[in-house]
Structure 1
Amino acid sequence: MTVLRTLIVEDDRQVADVTRAFVDRHPRYRVAGVAGTAAGATQALANLEIDLVLLDMQLPDGLGLDVLRTARARGYGGEVVALTAARDVDTVRVARQLGVRHYLVKPFSMKALHERMDEVAVSLNGPVASGAALDQGDVDRLMTGSVPVVSSRESHTLGAVAEALAALPDGVSASAIGETLGLARVTARRHLERLVEQGRAEVEPVYGRAGRPEMVYRSLDVG
């Protein structure tokens, strides 16, 4: 399993420590560096091999967007997740233009961060077979950073999820499918959502006693 090297760019030491603890809890990642300034982040990206940047947009000596502009101009092609209190339209739009596909507004939970990191890990580990011809839906998913084109391993998992879902006509949650197949909940949910996109499943919220809906998936596969 490839371990992905992560740079945390955050000027608040306490927030940086919490973020580092979150990253350390994810088995696919390790922290390669922490920078508290724009200058420090720019230097780290120039000197270290980094797969993922967790980037604050507001730094004491500049903007995270400027760090990213410089890094892209110098050839950095890795992934970036924005972790910031900045939520104005212009910042979000420019971040998107610079290749930021995940944007978490502070405060954020470890669960929310890990979900984005899971998606980044799938993207960086090359789910698209080399030389594969893509249809329009596959191209759209790659360009938007949503559910990626699957490898043979992912395809096998998708088939297992489809079979398990078809065996449960009353519907089931992503957590239950994950427990049944030994998958992480976020992985099970990703495959269930892919089945929905393919028209092989449907999803609807079911409200429980706590008042928060649970998403329940049902198979539409015939036979």
Structure 2
Amino acid sequence: MPERDGGPEDLRVLVVDDDFMVASIHARFVERAPGFVVAGRAATGAEALEAVERLRPDLVLLDVHLPDLSGIEVLRRLRGRGDDVGVIVVTAAREVDTVRAAAAAGAAHYLVKPFEHEDLLARLEAFRAAQAALQGVVAPDQEHIDAVFAPIGRARTVLPKGLSPETADAVLAALGAAGELSATEAAEAVGISRVSCRRYLEHFVDQGNATVRLRYGGTGRPERRYRAT
């Protein structure tokens, strides 16, 4: 049901999750984000499709595991009927196939549960920036376009020699889905060697697409753990 309209500059968000408590937490996170208001909630895929058509939100926080349709199927049906509403997938699903399907269907971001308010806020702000990039622009130049495709654009335009854009996208998607990975774990998720995967990960750190921390064990060298930004 609708929550509140907000101001004329606010972006309206539909929260889709079959767990009432989780949906409430996500709704509170949205309400704490400046410039965003909750337009409504839905607990099933069918409710989500109907609510998008009725409420016309700017953005949908979409869970994957719903009781009737998967979130991926909801996203595909939205796009199939020509609806370009923004979608951030919020889910516990970390399978690479699910991440790839979400990206292929047009999700703006993919956020793994559980997450903190700051994690969602960063993606909400990125979505707002992408929305604002083309406002009032009749013939966008490359800078405007790159602002809309920023996550892919950064990975593709500054890749060192020997790194491919397709593999870079896959590594970054796996990192974003898992929350935090070592080079070995990321390599297994994508299907490349650990040495090659670490080159991509260190490149993302250099470009600001990822951060790295050291995890110390009992013996030996500390493990480098990577997290997407």
TM-score range, shorter chain: 0.5 to 0.7
1:124 to 100, 122, 131: 131
Larger Rg: 1
Deviation track 1:136-167 (CA, whole Å, cap 9, x = no partner) reads xx65553354689xxxxxxxxxxxxxxxxxxx
1:51 to 58, 69, 74: 58
SS at match of 1:32: strand
1:133 to 120, 133, 141: 141
Q: Which runs of 5+ in 2 are unaligned?
A: 1-7, 155-205, 215-229
Counting matched residue pairs gives 157
- Going from structure 1 to structure 2, the CA distance change for 1:2 and 1:205 (only over 3 Å counts) comes to same
Mapped to 2, the partners of 1:108 and 1:59 lie a distance apart of 19
Shift of 1:87: 0.8
Mapped to 2, the partners of 1:70 and 1:132 lie a distance apart of 29
In the alignment, what sits opposite 1:13? 20
1:94 to 101, 119, 123: 101
Give yes or no for contact 2:15–2:23 (8 Å, CA) kept in 1.
yes
In the alignment, what sits opposite 1:143? 149
Deviation track 1:16-69 (CA, whole Å, cap 9, x = no partner) reads 000011011112111111000011001111211111110000101120011111
SS at match of 2:114: coil
- Going from structure 1 to structure 2, the CA distance change for 1:44 and 1:206 (only over 3 Å counts) comes to closer
In the alignment, what sits opposite 2:9? 2
In the alignment, what sits opposite 2:34? 27
110-119 or 67-76: which moved more? Answer: 67-76
5 Å-filtered alignment, 1:65-76, equals 65-76=72-83
Paired letter, 1:23: V
Paired letter, 1:143: F
SS at match of 2:111: strand
SS at match of 2:12: strand
- Going from structure 1 to structure 2, the CA distance change for 1:147 and 1:6 (only over 3 Å counts) comes to farther
Mapped to 2, the partners of 1:66 and 1:146 lie a distance apart of 23
Give yes or no for contact 2:16–2:41 (8 Å, CA) kept in 1.
yes
- Going from structure 1 to structure 2, the CA distance change for 1:47 and 1:69 (only over 3 Å counts) comes to same
35-44 or 69-78: which moved more? Answer: 69-78
Mapped to 2, the partners of 1:12 and 1:112 lie a distance apart of 20
Paired letter, 2:21: Q
Mapped to 2, the partners of 1:206 and 1:96 lie a distance apart of 27
SS at match of 1:62: coil
Mapped to 1, the partners of 2:107 and 2:16 lie a distance apart of 14
Mapped to 2, the partners of 1:45 and 1:66 lie a distance apart of 14
Mapped to 1, the partners of 2:9 and 2:91 lie a distance apart of 27
Mapped to 2, the partners of 1:71 and 1:29 lie a distance apart of 22
Identity of aligned residues (%): 39
Give yes or no for contact 1:38–1:62 (8 Å, CA) kept in 2.
yes
Mapped to 1, the partners of 2:95 and 2:126 lie a distance apart of 24
Q: Which runs of 5+ in 1 are unaligned?
A: 149-195, 198-203, 208-223
Paired letter, 1:27: P
